[in-house]
Amino acid sequence: MTDTTGSLNVGGTELKLPIREGSIGPAVMDIQTLYKNTGLFTYDPGFTSTASCESKITFIDGDEGVLLYRGYPIDDLAEHGDFLETSYLLLHGELPTSAQKAEFDRLVTRHTMVHEQMSRFYSGFRRDAHPMAVLCGVVGALSAFYHDSTDITDPAQREIAAIRMIAKIPTLAAMAYKYSIGQPFVYPQNSLDFAANFLNMCFAVPCEEYKVNPVLARAMDRIFTLHADHEQNASTSTVRLAGSSGANPFACIAAGIACLWGPAHGGANEAALKMLSEIGTPDNVDKYVKKAKDKNDPFRLMGFGHRVYKNYDPRAKIMQKTCHEVLGELGIKDDPLLEVAIQLEQIALKDDYFVEKKLYPNIDFYSGITLKAMGFPTDMFTVLFAVARTVGWVAQWKEMVEDPGQKIGRPRQLYTGSPRRDYTSISQRR
C-alpha cells in the first residue's frame, strides 16, 4: 500500500496532506492536521465522504455489489458456512479450524443462559411494549450483572464479554418475544445449534414437544450470517463512538440497538413489510411508486436504496433465494406480499427515477416476508437483525479498543447560532 501526498490550497496557503491507500477500495486523505494548520474543520454531516476509522473486518464495494467479511464473499459464507463460523471469522480474522470451531461453539453454547434475575426486568415492561424497547433495556442491564467482564483494558475480560454478548443476545431476544405474547420463557437447549436453539426459545411451549424444522433453522442461520456486519453503518458507528469513551461493552451494544431501531436503518425490515401490506395488491404498486418519486411526498420505498450499494445488495439476492426456500418448505403459495414485492421490484428496477438514483432492493426488502412466514410478528424483525449484528458490533468494538491509536471520538461543528450577547433580566424582556 503506497502512500502519496495530496495538497489543499487554503487562502493561498498550500497544505500537504498524506493520502493513504487501503488494501482494496478508496484511498483516504488524512486530514488530522487540517484544523491545527488552517483553523478549518471539514464539513460532512452524513459522513458521505468521511472514513471514521481504519478497519480490517468488512469491506463493501457499492458499485460492484460486493460484501466481504475478512476478505471472504458473503455468498460463500452464507452458502457453505454457518453463523458461528462467521462470528469466529469476524472476531478473530481467520476461518476457524475444526477444533477452533468446536471450542467456539462449545463456549457460546455454554453462555446462552442469562442470570435468573434478568427475567424480572421483563415484568417491568407493558406486554405490548415494542420488543426493541425491551431489548435496549435488558441489554444495558447486563452491565449490572457481569462486573467481571466490564474492564475493557483486560484482554481476557474483553474476550469473555464478547462471548457473553453473542451467546446471550438470542436468549434475551427470545425472552422479549415470549413476554410480548404472554408465554413462559424457554431456556436454551445446549443440544441445539445457535439458530435451532433460537427458534426453540421463540416457538417451543411447555405443553408439547417442539421439533425445530431443519430447513427453517438453516434459513434462520443464513439470515443471521447475512446481517452479521456491514462496515461503519449507523449502529456500528454508534457502538464505536460509545466505546471510544471507555464505556463497557454491554452499554455500547445497547446504544447500537437503539440506533438500529430507526426505520432508515435496521427498522426498515419492519417498515418494508408494513409498506407491502399497505400496498396490498400488485394493482396498487404504480400508485406507490409514484408517491415514492414525488419530492413533496415523504413516502419512500422501504427496503430500497442504500448509502453504499449503488448496485444490487448482494445480501438481498441471497435473502430472496432464502425467501423462496422458506415459503416452499411451508407450502405457502401465492403469498400476496411476495406478489406485491416481485411486482414492485420489477417496476422500480425499470423506472428512470430508481435507475438514475441507483436505488435497488436492499437486505430489508425480502427479509420481512421470510420472517413473517417463519412465524415472527413484524415488530420482532429488527430484534432479529440485532441478534445477528451483535457479533459485528462486538468485533468492531474490540478492533477499536485494541487500536493503539484509539482516542475518544469528539466531532466539531459549523456554528451558525447567535454570537455572544449580554444577559437581560426577565423584567427587561419584551
Establish if 305 lies at the interface with ligand SDX (CB under 6 A).
yes
Q: How far is the CB of 322 from ligand SDX (least distance, A)?
A: 16
CB contact burial 171-197 (16+ within 10 A = b; e otherwise): bbbbbbbbbbeeeebbebbeebbbbbb
Q: Which H helix or E strand runs over 423?
A: none
Q: Return the range that interacts with ligand SDX (CB under 6 A); candidates 20-28, 107-115, 301-309, 414-422.
A: 301-309
Answer for which of 264, 280, 332, 346 binds ligand SDX (CB under 6 A) is 264
Contact 24, 35 (CB under 8 A): no
Least distance from ligand SDX to the Cβ atom of residue 46, Å: 6
Q: Should residue 355 be labelled a site residue for ligand SDX when binding is judged by CB under 6 A?
A: no
Alpha-carbon gap, residue 373 to 381, rounded angstroms: 12
Residue closest to 311 by CA, chosen among 64, 74, 58: 64
| Beta-bridge mates of residue 59 | 68
61 labelled catalytic: no
Binders of ligand SDX among residues 197 to 256 (CB under 6 A) are: 230, 233
One residue of 359, 388, 391, 400 binding ligand SDX per CB under 6 A: 359
Active site residue 80: no
Q: What are phi and psi of 8, to 5 degrees?
A: -130, 125
State the DSSP code for 49: T
Residue nearest to ligand SDX (CB): 305
Q: Which of 115, 130, 105 is nearest to 194 (CA)?
A: 105
Cell readout for 325 is 426456500
Contacts for 341 with CB less than 8 Å, ≥ 6 apart: 276, 365, 366, 369
**Residue placing its CB nearer to ligand SDX in the complex, 56 or 290:** 290
- Residue range at the interface with ligand SDX (CB under 6 A); choices 110-118, 124-132, 193-201, 258-266: 258-266
User: Binding to ligand SDX by residue 274, rule CB under 6 A?
Assistant: no
List 193, 229, 364, 379, catalytic entry: 364
Catalytic residue among 229, 306, 313, 379: 306
Extract the C-alpha cell encoding 84: 458461528
Q: Which residues are the active-site residues? A: 306, 364
* Residues of this chain that bind ligand SDX (CB under 6 A): 46, 230, 233, 264-266, 268, 292, 300-307, 357, 359, 362-364
